[in-house]
Amino acid sequence: MSFPVVPLESIPTHGLTVQVQDWGRAACGEGLGGEAGAVSGHLVVTRQGRHILVSGTLEGSATVVCDRCAEPLRFTVAGEVDCVYIPRDEVAAQPVDEEPPEEAREEGEYDGVELDLVHVVREFFALERPARILCGDLDPAADAACLERFRTRAALAPAPPDPRFSVLKGVKPTR
């Protein structure tokens, strides 16, 4: 098999443990939206009929930019993976109004033949990434400098005309 692509038929009954190494780096960066620094962890892959269960832990970091001041930041995410991958044809056949199963596992899709763990890594980091990352989230002490950089950047843009002037123009001085 072309690692880290795991064919359904190749998964042993007791499962398969895969160490996440350099093959997951680019996917970590894509998920976090920056250039990946490092990724580590392990994934345990087991099968349940045609469903592939993936659990384990992942930790990865990437250089992303602050959403306020655009300064590059080293952002790290770590967490538990607990996901079930369901063949696409089965997902398509599911009635839309079907009650979701009790377990709060994330659901993903795969082609029913093989699961690409690069995809699993990318999806994990994309889901874990907060919608907004600011300098102050990583280091509260950096917040003031972040705001300062933001103001400097905003000052470089042409200032909009001050609306107070247009009001004053129509006012004649009274004695």
Residues in the site for Zn ion, rule: CB under 5 A?
66, 68-69, 71, 135, 146
Tokens of 7: 């064919």
CB 40 within 8 A of CB 20: yes
Smallest gap from residue 129 Cβ to Zn ion (A):
16
Smallest gap from residue 68 Cβ to Zn ion (A):
5
Judged by beta carbon, residue 15 or residue 72, the one nearer Zn ion is: 72
CB 55 within 8 A of CB 80: yes
Which burial class, exposed, middle or buried, applies to 139 when counting CB atoms under 10 A from its CB (0-12, 13-18, 19+)? exposed
- For residue 144, give the 3-state DSSP assignment: helix
Judged by beta carbon, residue 116 or residue 137, the one nearer Zn ion is: 137
Smallest gap from residue 138 Cβ to Zn ion (A):
9
DSSP H/E element including 175: none
Judged by beta carbon, residue 73 or residue 83, the one nearer Zn ion is: 73
Smallest gap from residue 76 Cβ to Zn ion (A):
16
Judged by beta carbon, residue 82 or residue 137, the one nearer Zn ion is: 137
